[in-house]
Amino acid sequence: MLNKKFFILSRTRLYSILTSKDSLVYGIREKKAISLSNLKDVEVNSNMHIKDNLFKNLPITSVVKNCMLNLIKTDTTIKNIDIDEIKCSDIQRLSIPRIIQKNDTPVLKKFLDLVKEEHEINMLTNFDDNTESNFVGDLQMKQVNTSQYHNLLSGIEKPSYPVDIHDDKIDVDIFSIGAETGSGKTVAFLTPLLEYLVLYRSNFNNEKNSSPIVRSVIFLPTNELVNQVYDFLMKNGRPVHLNVKKFDIEVTPSQMISSLRESVEDPIDVVICTPEKITKSLKSINPSYYSHLTNRVEYCVLDETDILMDKNGSLDGLNAFFKNCKNLNTIINCSGTITDNYLSNLKELDIIKRATENNKHQVIITKNLHKINNNINYYNIDCSIGALSNSRIKALGQVIFSIYKKNKRDYKNDPYFMKIFNRIMVFANTKESVLEIEEYLKRLLPNANIQILVKETSVEDRKRILYPYLNYSPRDEVFNEETKTSIPKLVKKFEWIPDSNIKTPIIFSSDTVHPEDIFINKKQDINILITTDILSRGINFKKLKNLVLMEPPKNVLSFIHRIGRVCRYGDTGNENYLSNIKAYNNNVIEKNASVYMITDLNDTKHNWVRDIKKAITFKKKFI
């Protein structure tokens, strides 16, 4: 099935593991660093190589390619990047060609060749790689040619459609993708999804029936993530003319029903929601719509799958949902952490268990999965030492103080950096701890903008609170030519803060300067967000540079997701992404972010806390 050639990437080879009977893992890892069991070489199709690693060279239709490139360009924090220069992240390079391979049925190939021959001029002008001149965004695409294209595609038999999962011969393909946080997994799952929907859209459009049609569902664990994925996909208007709906917390049951009613005439291509919205709300208010909906779904994405299955009741709901799916073609699971445990938990979903047994479950991982990000400065602050006298909150005050002082000195002539670097995110393990920190900081920093986000925070408040962290003004809006030359260089010299074990690039004496003296009675442009694990997953914080962990998170997985909120792709990200930052003309000063973890003697007794420290010290993988 797969050819016998290994795809050699400098000194790394491609490996697979047998995670369970017949399920394959593809990816690039150094053999010694593998933490997953049963490592085996995998046979990889060598034509999966993407020329120059450029996104534009992915083997996908140009309509989808242009749509995705424009979405990345609009969303990424890499400034002024040309769409021709956008490179694939590791997970995009590894997973997109593999997942869309499924669309590549001989019938489709033959058809596309025919179309190309017969309509060469037409296709070259509108749908080949050379589309930049007449395609700037979805909205500018010539309607007539688009519909012509889709008409041409009508009648193409869908790959392995229809599917009956109750048959022994299950034909649903499952792809579980795992890659480091902030590495563009959203694009990695949206690209094959859109490609599928565009290639095979007309079959459904031609059907006359009276039941709702929802062609694909993207399940996410929280309302914030539902909105994040929806906002990304809709950034430039309707993507490739697809009908995308979000069923977020604000969508009432009656609005949901009326959208589904409309889908009888105008099929919904993508629904983005939490599992509860469909597997509980819809099921209870309109069981018949629920069963029609599930019956029609062809493609499903589970983002942050481990969390989705952890959440109370979601697993049963999802199992019931998939049992009803008669037309399901593909499922993509996504996570920033993949462990043996996770892979075995996945099989609690019957459909995945069945697919695994039928050799239809592929796991795709990158070499940087679970790896420390070298662009982050990690500090461990042991509050049991000296003046901190076992007070985490005091340690937090010191950290904020040192960040503030450093920024004041380094960026006083640069409002852009001042704004970016003066945002601090604090993770606490419990709501009580969040409230306690809030109270302390509000006293310590009366003029700072201190916000908390906990489970009870209302949807409106969440939007308002998160806004400054999810959006940033480009440098040009706050920075002009005159001030450009006066950016001070980042001082590389680090000093210890007296009476603490905090290392910082500033020098001050605790005898003469107290945080209170500096902060009180001054208007500070300092933003602090205090939260719990509620925001540790998937949220695409833009250019966040300071993260404080009030205590070690409950396990290493949570640690990886929390620190994954800084140094995301485009915002310096992992080292191998720097090659993507040709157009990145901000400044190297902006490169690093800092994570401060406050521990006490008790915490360091835990093995995993020691493991984290070791991983950081020796630049190894976390797990």
Ligand X SMILES: Nc1ncnc2c1ncn2[C@@H]1O[C@H](COP(=O)(O)OP(=O)(O)OP(=O)(O)O)[C@@H](O)[C@H]1O
Chain residues in the site for ligand X (CB under 6 A): 55, 72, 75-76, 78, 86-89, 92, 179, 181-187, 336, 538, 540, 564, 568-570, 580
| 3-state secondary structure labels for all residues of 465-510 | HHHHHHCCCCHHHHCCHHHHCCCCCCCCCCEECCCCCCEECCCCCC
Tokens of 415: 């409002």
- Return the number of the residue (283 or 568) whose C-beta is nearest ligand X: 568
Q: Do residues 211 and 292 touch, judged by C-beta distance below 8 A?
A: yes
Determine how β-strand 39-41 pairs with β-strand 13-17. antiparallel
Virtual CA dihedral for 394, 396, 400, 401, nearest 10 degrees?
Answer: 20
Separation CA 167–CA 178 (nearest Å) = 29
Helices vs strands, H then E, count in the chain:
24, 18
Phi/psi region, residue 137 (left: phi>0; alpha: psi -120 to 50; beta: rest), is beta
Least CB distance from residue 544 to ligand X, whole Å?
A: 12
Least CB distance from residue 259 to ligand X, whole Å?
A: 26
- 528: amino acid identity, one letter: I
Least CB distance from residue 466 to ligand X, whole Å?
A: 14
Cα end-to-end distance, the chain, whole Å: 32
Exposure on the CB side of residue 23, measured as CA atoms within 13 A:
22
Separation CA 69–CA 135 (nearest Å) = 11
Return the DSSP state at 282. I
Least CB distance from residue 537 to ligand X, whole Å?
A: 7
Least CB distance from residue 59 to ligand X, whole Å?
A: 16
SS3 425: strand
Separation CA 435–CA 534 (nearest Å) = 15
- Return the number of the residue (178 or 317) whose C-beta is nearest ligand X: 178
Least CB distance from residue 126 to ligand X, whole Å?
A: 24
Q: Do residues 438 and 452 touch, judged by C-beta distance below 8 A?
A: yes
Report CA Rg, the chain: 25
Which single residue brings its beta carbon nearest to ligand X? 184
Return the DSSP state at 190. H
Least CB distance from residue 471 to ligand X, whole Å?
A: 11
- Return the number of the residue (72 or 441) whose C-beta is nearest ligand X: 72
- Return the number of the residue (86 or 165) whose C-beta is nearest ligand X: 86
Least CB distance from residue 333 to ligand X, whole Å?
A: 13
- Return the number of the residue (95 or 599) whose C-beta is nearest ligand X: 95
Question: By C-alpha distance, which of 149, 111, 144 is closest to 127?
Answer: 149
Separation CA 557–CA 566 (nearest Å) = 16
Separation CA 338–CA 335 (nearest Å) = 7
- Return the number of the residue (55 or 596) whose C-beta is nearest ligand X: 55
Question: By C-alpha distance, which of 222, 218, 267 is closest to 246?
Answer: 218
What stretch of H or E contains 559? helix 556-563
Question: By C-alpha distance, which of 551, 600, 595 is closest to 425?
Answer: 595
Least CB distance from residue 310 to ligand X, whole Å?
A: 16
Least CB distance from residue 372 to ligand X, whole Å?
A: 15
Orientation of helix 223-233 relative to helix 459-470, angle to 10°: 50
Least CB distance from residue 494 to ligand X, whole Å?
A: 29
- Return the number of the residue (174 or 187) whose C-beta is nearest ligand X: 187
- Return the number of the residue (336 or 397) whose C-beta is nearest ligand X: 336
- Return the number of the residue (376 or 400) whose C-beta is nearest ligand X: 376
Neighbours of 9 (CB within 10 A): 12
- Return the number of the residue (356 or 373) whose C-beta is nearest ligand X: 373
Question: By C-alpha distance, which of 203, 222, 221 is closest to 213?
Answer: 203
- Return the number of the residue (222 or 540) whose C-beta is nearest ligand X: 540
- Return the number of the residue (55 or 135) whose C-beta is nearest ligand X: 55
Neighbours of 128 (CB within 10 A): 12
Separation CA 247–CA 174 (nearest Å) = 24
- Return the number of the residue (70 or 243) whose C-beta is nearest ligand X: 70
Least CB distance from residue 433 to ligand X, whole Å?
A: 23
Least CB distance from residue 569 to ligand X, whole Å?
A: 3
